[in-house]
A and B are shown apart, each in its own frame.
Chain A
């Protein structure tokens, strides 16, 4: 028997986490419909990295372009988490900003942001920081233009730093439980405040504090999906041409939710305490549940507003 025949079925399980940014971008689009913009031949490598004798990449760590999803035109940007941790530099950021600005003009059915990043690329610190601010502004402009901006987070490095702030500025967030979303990373907190504040090596603690399941239960994200490309794609498709209201009523409602969160959970020591407060039976079991079991546990416990986002 040919080994590769045997695994044809297994290969259908394309892990999102294990895929490269380029493979993810292709994977979010209908077959062969993705066209990359400023592809590697453009050789847009960072002069700032070069000045520091650090290896560069032809795409500066981000793949952008357009494709079709369920037949509709979409724009896609995918950060490569394995290059510099997906960190945002000058070129990297400008590619993403340009894509969002183009969306304002062309009005695709959605812009998908496949984020995997530690935030600002320290080697080009100031340019990276402002790039994130420009991305944030461009996201808002796309939303004002009624183009849904959908964030997908499923990479091993999570989505941190300034981009962790940008993500909730978008229309919707889809995560897998292996993904993390936060502003400060555990190592940063441990370095600044000590291991008693946050033991970054305790991965179980890291994930229940910042991982996909907790973010879902907190109401910070819209969908929790399995770690495979088709699941992310299906989830993304549900937001096509469905911009979320972005006006005074929306932020006032969000304000009330966030105030309530501090009130209800502000004194909780650990995520498990929050889950218990949400009325989940056996909250300590949450991390070990598969997606289906997790959804059941959440449904059973739903005390009214377990899950509600922007």
Chain B
């Protein structure tokens, strides 16, 4: 979904958003209150500068707008694949972004994320899944790695992986799989601002993704095993 269309659909009351070097930031108005918007556009590959800029926007909201809900707008190509970014420790920058968002959560900000275009692997992890809850539009593209690369690395025939995609949400790319696994809390279709309004009514901070994944039949093991360990049934 195009960013402009997305913003208009989410915030018919109005929004004030800038896009600079693939980094999106601004405000949207919903029911007369502001929602902080932070994210990326243009299939951004998230390197050290992008991560640091995103973190700066998060910190600014935390410092200047205590308690304001934050909506992360997700469109990325994953972490930036470059030697220079790794030389500077891109993992540290991505972790920093996560920590800033976590501090925001701990200080009472609701943090939601919406995959409106594509979300890949490390990019989804650092700039999307870090939210209280993650949502997606139906046409969003979410995956860990493209199948040919996966086939090359695992040395499993592409045809076999393709047939696995038909049956296994654990493996198949795409929003339905990520919904079934409990990763995507809900799919926003049609009335986006209504969907956002509904989402903002849920103030829970608990991580229920594995439970949801179990309930939706996508992840049968994770919830029970984590609980077994947590409860000492070992």
Contacts and interface: CB of A to CB of B under 8 A. Distances in A.
Interface of A: 37-38, 42, 44, 47-48, 51-52, 54, 64-65, 90-91, 93-95, 97-99, 101-102, 105, 119-120, 122-134, 136-138, 140-141, 144, 161-162, 164-169, 181-184, 188-189, 191-193, 197-198, 209-210, 214-215, 218, 220, 246-248, 250-252, 254-255, 258-259, 261-262, 265-266, 268, 270-271, 274
A133 B125 contact: yes
Which of under 10, 10 to 19, 20 to 34, or 35 or more describes the interface residues of B? 35 or more
Interface string B84-95: 011111111111
B100 A251 contact: yes
Nearest to B132: A137
B95 A166 contact: yes
A259 B93 CA distance: 10
Given A52-B156, A101-B230, A169 B86 contact: no
B115 interface: no
Given A189-B82, A218-B89, A251-B96, A134 B209 contact: yes
Given A133-B130, A137-B207, A247-B103, A262 B48 contact: yes
B226 A98 contact: yes
Interface stretch (B24-32, B33-41, B142-150, B192-200): B142-150
Contacts of A251: 55, 59, 96, 99-100, 103
B204 interface: no
Contacts of A169: 95, 98-99, 102
Contacts, number: 243
Given A129-B121, A182-B91, A274-B87, A248 B62 contact: yes
| Interface class of chain B by DSSP | helix
A292 B224 CA distance: 47
A210 B82 CA distance: 12
A274 B83 CA distance: 14
A64 to B, nearest CB: 7
B153 interface: yes
A95 B210 CA distance: 12
Given A169-B95, A251-B99, A91 B222 contact: yes
B106 A144 contact: yes
Nearest to B227: A98
A37 B234 contact: yes
A183 B86 contact: yes
Interface of B: 48-49, 52, 55-56, 59, 62-63, 79, 81-83, 85-96, 98-100, 102-103, 106-107, 121-122, 124-126, 129-130, 143-145, 149-150, 153-154, 156, 160, 164, 168-173, 177-178, 181-183, 207, 209-210, 213, 219, 221-232, 234
B56 to A, nearest CB: 7
A184 B225 contact: no
Contacts of B177: 126
- 7 nearest A-B residue pairs (beta carbon): A98-B229, A37-B234, A168-B95, A98-B226, A125-B144, A94-B225, A133-B129
5 contacts: A162-B122, A182-B90, A192-B81, A209-B83, A251-B99
Contacts of A270: 87
B99 A122 contact: no
Nearest to B94: A165
B222 A48 contact: no
A182 B222 contact: no
Nearest to A52: B156
B234 to A, nearest CB: 4
A132 B125 contact: yes
A91 B87 CA distance: 32
Contact of A165 (B125, B172, B213): B125
A55 B47 CA distance: 36
Contact of B178 (A98, A126, A262): A126
Q: Which residue, of B149, B156, B183, B226, has the highest number of chain A Cβ atoms within 10 A?
A: B226
B45 to A, nearest CB: 10
A105 B88 contact: no
A140 B62 contact: no
A302 to B, nearest CB: 20
A266 B82 CA distance: 13
A193 B144 CA distance: 18
A254 B170 contact: no
A125 B125 contact: no
Contacts of A164: 91
